[in-house]
Every structure is written in C-alpha cells, then in structure tokens.
Structure 1
Amino acid sequence: MGIFSSPNSLQKVLGAPGVEGKSVTKLTKGGLTEFIQSIIVKTEEMKEPFYILDLGVVMSLYENWTQNLPMIQPFYAVKCNPEPALLGALAAFGSNFDCASKGEIKAILALGVSPDRIIFANPCKAESHIKYAASVGVNLTTFDSKEELDKIRMWHPECKLLIRIKPPLECKDVRELSTKFGALNEEVLPLLRSAKGLGLNVVGVAFHIGSAAKDSRAYREAIAAAKAIFDTAILLGMPKMYVVDVGGGFTADSYFNEMAPVIKAALQDYFPNEPGLSVISEPGRYFAETSSTLVTNIIGKRVRGELREYWINDGTYGSFNGIPRDNIRPTITCTPIACMSNPSNPTCKELCTYKATVFGPTCDSLDTILKGHQLPELHVNDWLVFKEMGAYTAAGGSNFNGFDMASTSTYLAF
C-alpha cells in the first residue's frame, strides 16, 4: 500500500489549505457523469460552465511521481493552474512551488506554505517583485543574463541563484521555451564570472526542455550540460554547486514512465554519489491536466444539411485558449450530456451521430473549438463535457467580449 493509499488519505485532502471547509464529493468508480448531472440539476437556472477537480487523481499522480522519481522534489508550476484547492492539496502531499511573480508568491504564502518551499523561477523579474521576494524570505531564483544579476545584486543580494541554460536538445511538441529563456553555451562562463565578481551565490543549474516533451534524450543531454557547468564553477574558484533543476514538460501518460528511468540513469551517470545534491523539478501540466474536467452549456445551434453547429458558453478566449496558442484542437474530445432534451438517455448512447462544429461564445469567428467532430443530435441547454482540461485553461483565459471567466466555478471531488 502506498503512502497516499492509506485510509487517512481522504482526511489528508480534506484538511488541506484551500480545501478545508469546502464540499468534496466522494466519487465511486465511473461516478463522474452522475456527479455532473447532479450539479446541472442544482444549477439549472445559472447554466454557467464549471470545472470538476478530482483531488483523488492529484493524489494518485503525486504517489506515482514519488514512486518513479523519488530523488526529485517537485515544485509545482503555479501558472499552470492556480486553483487554491489544487495548490492546497499539493502542499499537503509535500510539493513545493514554482512561482513566477509577486502575485503567485502571495497566493502560495496565503496557504500557509513556508517561503523556503518556493522557487522564484522567472529568469527576468520586475524590480518590485524581487524586492517583495526578499521581504518575505523567498531566497531561490533563476537568471540567464548579466542585467538580471545586477538587479538581484541591488535588491536581493542574499538570494541563492540557479543559472538557467538553453538545453542542448529541446523538444518542440507543444511550446519551445529557449527563444525567450536560457543562457547559450557561450554565455555561461561570462555569466558565472559576473556572478562571482558581484559576490552572488550561484548554487546550481536549471533548464526546461519544453512543454509536453516527448523526447527523453533531451533530459539526458541537459543533465550532462549541467554537470559540465558544475565543473566549470569549481575551476573558477566558486563554491561547489548542489542543485539541479530539471524543469517541467512532464505529462501524466506513458511518456512519463519512459522519461523517468532515463532521467534517473542520467543523474546516476553524471552525478554519481554526489554528496548533498538536490534535484528539483517544475511540473505543472503533469499534476493539473488530467485532474480537471470542464462542463459547458450549449447556448446556440444551427443545422446546415448534415452539419450540426453548436455554440457553447466557453471558448478560445476562455478555457480553450490553448487552441490558438498551442494548436491543441486535434487532441480535444468531448462527450454530451443531454439531460434536458433526452432525460431517458442523457449520455446519448448508441444514438446516430452527425458531423459537428463547436464554437465559443464570442463574436470572433476564430473562436472555434472543434471541427468535424461526431456528435449526436443535441439541443440548446444540453451540455458538452471536456476531460483533461486542467492545464493552462482557466489560468490563461480572458474576459474578452464581456464573458467573465470569474463566473466559472470549480467543484471538488475525490
């Protein structure tokens, strides 16, 4: 039995900051649809989109992480999904946090998390945010330029630093990050010399191979590059480094199981028996994506021959902002709940389907979620359910055209 599979697991979740005092529905296996229907009935007049966050999934993912990568301490990337219940549950399980701004640091501290469990993992920070981090005791951050070192020297000189490097091999499956962040190989030595000259304490190396990465070789090559920088620092007469930050890019699928042994082997090969070595990571999507389900209401319909066109009350300016940003449309699937128009068969099992287009609610024609998707005959006030919608969804939404993301509620399940 895993440490999170004990009879006290539910109590651990219920007592977590951000969760305590809130209603958490315990689901039976396969009970998600029934739970969704119960919410729809209770909120029949509102008909706003809503999320279901399954804290049991979060717990299982954390246990899977500790089993497969026990030597790596996760620092959850708050930007991925800042839902307080998710943050609180992760804090209770033992996760630390990757914050990129003053606002994110405040959100984590408000949950009672100690500042020494936060990395300010933004290589380019506003001076006011650096000052705030110093004032609250957040004492670990990243840099990749001489100008950033000058700001840190001025406003937070006691902060420990990780040099953020461009990985030798970067995955480009979803989003390439090195165009914006990461010191080039030829910039590393001058930056280390600058840090030493300024009296700053560089304690390690950070990298990020790209979001939703699928190539495990990228981790191995980046870990090898980190070791070379450790050795360079010693040659420069700097204190021995002891932190390797392997970044994020993890997904909660078979790729994680492929990546984990490669990362473990690379750490063993390049940092064998390294005393005092601390290996950390910044997963966001891994914990958030599969733990949340989005439920949307059909607010409009048009029939053109065999084509069915539906409008729903969330779109690419809201939870589906990843479509224009990351081109995720091919991976999106949805299932209907027609409890209003077809109460005897709300899940529309074995019904004839039609080619359908699903639009978002705004007046922008680019606000299109699905094209050519097979759906049964649905009607206004029926619902569409989208699974695996917890990563970079509501967090990246806007209020364009007057559609308020704040009206999207989150219900908790376990």
Structure 2
Amino acid sequence: MNLTNLDECIHVVDDGTKLEKVLQSITESGVQEDAFYVFDVGDIVRKYEIFTTKLPRVKPFYESILIKPIFYSITVFALYVFLAVKCNDNAIVLEVLATLGANFDCASKGEINKVLDLGINQSRILFANPAKPASHIRHAATVGVDLMTFDNESELHKVKSLYPNARLVIRVRCDADVAQCPLGLKFGCDILTEAPRLIRVARFLGLEVVGISFHVGSGCDDPPVFRRGIAAARKLFDYATTLGYNFDLLDLGGGYPGNTGTSIDKIADVINLALEEFFPDPSVKVIAEPGRFFVASAFALATNIHSKREVRNNDEKDGSITHVMYYINDGVYGAFNCCLYDHYHPTPIPLEVSFCSNTVLLYNVSLYAKPLFFEIIVL
C-alpha cells in the first residue's frame, strides 16, 4: 500500500483497509511530518445516503465554509495539508456531493465562486447569509445567484437597491435548548414580533419572498426544537398568504450531529412527523444545511508529538514529576479551534507507542483522532 506520493491526492485502497494502517503507512514513510488529514470519501457517500433515506422530503444544501485544507483521500482515501472547521470547501468534498445531487449553502462571494468554479449551476446555490456586504450582493446578481436569506429591514433595502429581482428567504430565530453553537444572537429575527413586520416591509418594497429559514444551532441535542421551528414556519406561511405571497420553500437549517457514534434518527423522526402535520403539501420544497453531518466523521487528523516538558513539584527534597506536557504540531489556531468555539474535548489515539518499564512514552510519535481531534496540551 503506497500512500506516500504527494503528487496524488486520491489513493484507492482495498476494501476493509483500516484507517490506522493508512495513517501508519504515511507517517512511517517520513514524507509527511506536518499535521495532515486522511479523508474517507466513501464515508461522505454513506452519510448522503443516510440523510436522504431518513429524511426523504428534505433536499440537502451543503454548507461550504471557505478554508484551505491539505488531505489524503481513502477507499477512496483523499493528502492535503490542512485546516478544518465545522465543514470545509475541499474540492473533492464539493465534487462528490455535487455528483450525489446536493446543492450548496454559501455565505460569501468567495464561497459562491468556489462552487461555480467547479461547474455547478448557480440555481443550486443558496446565499445563506442574512447580513451581506453590498459588494457580495452585487456579485450574486452578476453571476445569477438569486436565492438568498435576510433577517432585518436594512438588508431588505440593500437588496431592493442592488438586486431587486432576488428571491428572498426570511430567517427566523429558533434556538435549541442544547446546542454546541447557538446562533440566535447572531442571526434570525423573532418569529412573533419581527418576522410578520419584515414580510410586510418586503411586500411594500415589491420584493419576492419565497419562504422561511431557521437554524437551531450547530451540534443540536434537542430534537423537539425542529417541530417548534416547522410549526412556527407554518404560521408565517399562512400569514404571508394574507399579504398575497405564496411561499413554497422551507429551510430547516443545520444542527445535525455527524461525529462517529452519533445518529440523526431522533431528529429525523421529529422532522418527518412535523412535516406530515404542518406541510403535507408536497409542492412545498423542503431543504436543509447538513454541512457538519456530511464531513465530521470522514476526516481523521494525524499530528506529531515533537516535544515534551516534565513538570515537577516544588519540594526541594522530592522534586518528583507531577505531570508531563506534550507538544504537537497543531493548535487552537488550526484544527483545534473546536476547543475554543465548540466546547469540544478531543481524545488522542497513539499510532505508535514506545514502552519503558511500565511507562508509556509518547515522544516523537504520531497521534491521530477520529473524528477530527484529540485531548492533549493544545497551545
């Protein structure tokens, strides 16, 4: 198994090849000493099948936050050197999802260009940023990305001035009681007090509003919140009808857990029952933004422990070691930003262990984590 040719980012290996063997092949070769990811392309394919099977009415829009990774790709496994947030814009990820039929949730001009450069039609893009710079709205108009979100009156006036033919989706606030990253303080208008007024303002300005969007927060652990959001959307659909609108789009946002060992079964059950109750009409297009769900378990990060520091107590006579700090070649300004923003507690898995008596020495060895990260001194 030769996975050491850095000129090739895609490597096909035998079925049943374990991730640890792939990582060991790369680290033992010595050609890649920097931290890197191995990307299991097949994992994304399986995740797409799971999502579309469990949520048959929901069309996934992949959230392609713009970053710059370097990976290895397996069974098909894919090497690039590296960076990762809750999801990523790696071209292989985007091409695989596009081939499977996913559409794309973009939040900036750069992300829109990244998707369009792959030959993906602009009709498959949702500009899902409720507060957009004017230059980005003008760019969307130039390239024909006409579906976009808003959650405030100022945005409506910007769109009226810069892109009056845009199709708009109003984003409402519907935070889960338990989520890794609640988003309600940043995005989304109040369902009861703000949303009806914004729909009226849009009507007065002659803008086309086509539907409702909400996001319960990343890493949702509160499945009933999806029913609350869908029920609230139904009321706003009905209210918009009284103003002459005919909404036909419901965006369920993100929040679907995707790490190894997690499941969307409970969330899917809640969504399916709520759609049957509140939106039985199949003409309403239902979409979602499961970015993290698709990629979280598909990537494994390998790092090197390059240094260690033995910390001793202050007893002059004893001076025994109280603990050891290990330093790896990645940190919170790279792959481990999840420790700061997602309250994540990564767990290390040694790829190589040296023994001395009963002590395990983790010095000048490699570690990997799946999903993404591990627990160690991260600076």
TM-score range, shorter chain: 0.7 to 0.9
Q: 1:132 to 1:321 in 2, by over 3 A?
A: same
Aligned equivalent of 2:48: 62
CA offset at residue 170 of structure 1?
Answer: 2.4
* Superposition deviation, residue 307 in structure 1: 2.3
Aligned equivalents of 1:46, 1:181: Cα separation in 2: 41
Q: How does 1:174-213 map to 2 (within 5 A)?
A: 174-184=180-190, 185-213=192-220
Distance 1:352 1:84 in 2: 46
Tell me, in whole angstroms, the C-alpha distance in 1 between the residues paired with 2:137 and 2:367: 43
Question: 2:179·2:222 contact (CA, 8 Å) conserved in 1?
Answer: no
Q: Hey, what's the Cα distance between the residues in 1 that align with 2:296 and 2:102?
A: 17
Supply the distance in 2 between the matched residues of 1:379 and 1:385 (Cα, whole angstroms).
14
Residues in 2 aligned to 1:122 and 1:62: alpha-carbon distance in whole angstroms: 24
Gaps (5+ residues) in structure 1?
1-20, 343-347, 354-375, 391-400, 402-414
* Contact in 1 for aligned 2:171/2:187 (Cα 8 Å): yes
Higher share in helix: 1
Structure-2 separation of matches of 1:210 and 1:56: 27
Matched with 2:61 is 75
Letter in 2 for 1:85: I
Aligned to 1:28: 15
Higher mean C-alpha displacement, 253-262 vs 48-57: 253-262
| Pairwise CA RMSD | 2.0
Of 378, 385, 388, which aligns to 2:362? 378
TM-score, normalised via structure 2 length: 0.84
1:258-303 deviation per Cα after TM superposition (whole angstroms, max 9, x unaligned): 110110000010012x152100001111001110000001110123
Q: 1:3-402 counterparts in 2 under 5 A?
A: 22-42=9-29, 44=30, 46-79=32-65, 80-167=87-174, 169-184=175-190, 185-238=192-245, 240-252=246-258, 253-272=261-280, 274-304=281-311, 305=321, 307-329=323-345, 332-338=346-352, 342=354, 352=358, 376-380=360-364, 382-389=365-372
Q: What letter corresponds to residue 387 of structure 1 in structure 2?
A: K
Identity %: 39
C-alpha distance in structure 2 between counterparts of 1:69 and 1:178, whole Å: 25
Tell me how far 1:95 sits from its aligned partner: 0.7
DSSP-derived class of the 2:306 partner: strand
TM-score by length of 1: 0.77
Conserved? CA contact 2:350–2:368, under 8 Å: yes
Query: Aligned letter for 1:194?
Result: V
Q: Which residue of 2 aligns with 1:12?
A: none
Supply the distance in 1 between the matched residues of 2:341 and 2:203 (Cα, whole angstroms). Answer: 39
Using the alignment, how far apart are the partners of 2:152 and 2:11 within structure 1? Answer: 46
Contact 1:212–1:251, Cα closer than 8 Å, also in 2: yes
Question: Residue 394 of structure 1 aligns with which residue?
Answer: none
* Equivalent residue letter for 1:317: Y
Unaligned runs of 5+ in 2: 1-7, 66-86, 312-320, 374-378
The CA deviation string for residues 121-159 of structure 1, in whole angstroms up to 9 with x for no partner, is 000000000011111111100001110001111111111
Count how many residue pairs are aligned between Structure 1 and Structure 2. 334
Change (3 A) 1:234 1:30: same
Equivalent in the alignment of 1:362: none
- Contact kept, 8 Å, 1:171 with 1:210, in 2: the verdict is no
Query: Could you tell me whether the CA contact under 8 Å between 1:76 and 1:97 is conserved in 2?
Result: yes
Q: Letter of the aligned partner of 1:35 in structure 2?
A: V
Question: 2: distance between equivalents of 1:284 and 1:28?
Answer: 26
Determine helix, strand or coil for the equivalent of 1:52.
Answer: strand
Offset, 1:26:
2.3
The DSSP-based 3-state class of the residue aligned with 2:257 is coil
- How far 1:173 moved relative to its partner? 2.3
CA distance in 2 between counterparts of 1:205 and 1:149 reads 15
Equivalent residue letter for 2:50: N
Q: Residues of 2 paired with 1:306 and 1:147: CA distance?
A: 57
